[in-house]
Homo-oligomer: A and B are copies of this chain.
Amino acid sequence: MPHDTPTPADQADRFARAREVQAVALLEDYVEMIGDLIAEMGEARVADIAARMGVAQPTATKAIARLKREGLATSRPYRGVFLTDQGAAMAERVRARHRTVVELLIAVGVPADTAELDAEGIEHHVSDHTLRAFEAFLAAMPR
């Protein structure tokens, strides 16, 4: 029965998943940005990370501490930040997903600048399953 009202438990699971996603979203953003900075400038400095994330420098420092705790990045005091293999892999995944989400939005008629803006929040909630559907849709697009 496709159109049942979801049970309370189903719905609770949905919200639980959305909360989990939220918990990793920040990690994903930092990891992607650190990857960008290393690619662009050869290294990722805390000050640059903070500026791009739009947060104060100690906030970035704290986030980096969390990345290190989770095995995504490494750093030594007063030195730049680097990604572990795991972090680099996450950055790559996130970057690809971001691109796909932006393209999908544009493909359904969202202006490019708005697509970019909304994608920043949307992308984290796009499951692998949905991502594959997006890719298939884009591949089937005329032009």
Contacts and interface: CB of A to CB of B under 8 A. Distances in A.
A118 B110 contact: no
A5 B36 CA distance: 11
B112 A2 contact: yes
Contact of A129 (B48, B104, B111, B136): B111
Contact of A52 (B12, B51, B124): B12
Interface residues of A, number: 48
Name A's interface SS: helix
A109 B125 contact: no
A143 B84 CA distance: 48
A130 B118 contact: yes
A6 interface: yes
Nearest to A136: B109
Interface stretch (A15-23, A66-74, A75-83): A15-23
A137 to B, nearest CB: 4
A96 interface: no
Nearest to A49: B8
A43 interface: no
Given A11-B54, A15-B53, A52-B8, A22 B108 contact: no
